[in-house]
Amino acid sequence: MHNNQIKHIIMKNLKSIFVCSIMTMAFASTVSAQSPFELPALNYAYNALEPAIDKATMQIHHSKHHQGYVNKLNKAIEGTEAENLALDEILKNISVYPTAVRNNAGGHFNHTLFWTILTPKKNT
């Protein structure tokens, strides 16, 4: 392997590590937020993933489906000790909570992670 090839591989890997670090920080701030939980904003427009995922699908999945998990989670923990916990704290002991908390906390967490993994950038 030539030095230029090695430099290219290193730079590509460093870029990937940097992008993953930024995504992890954004994800961590959402997961460590306390209730009432909120739908996280996307870092891209609903149409940014076209043609792979169309605008309508993204808009419905984010603003309706994921928002549903957030709304139901907030309702399920209202008036309980979980109302004062961050999402990651709830998830650490998820087995002690009723089904509504387990399903909706998991749905909120999974979708929050899902949005950070998707990117409109090519070759990432």
Q: Where are the domains of the chain?
A: 3-117
Q: Identity (one letter) of the amino acid at 49?
A: L
pLDDT of residue 84: 93
Q: Which burial class, exposed, middle or buried, applies to 84 when counting CB atoms under 10 A from its CB (0-12, 13-18, 19+)?
A: exposed
| pLDDT given at position 114 | 92
3-31 helix and 99-117 helix, angle to the nearest 10 degrees: 150
pLDDT by residue (tens digit) across 1-41?
A: 666 666 556 655 545 554 454 445 555 556 666 779 999 99
18 CB neighbour count, 10 Å cutoff? 10
Over residues 97-123, mean pLDDT:
93
**Which residue has better confidence, 85 or 5?**
85
pLDDT in tens, 52-76: 999 999 999 999 999 999 999 999 9
**Span 3-117 CATH architecture:** Orthogonal Bundle (1.10)
pLDDT at 81: 93
Res. 51: pLDDT tops 80:
yes
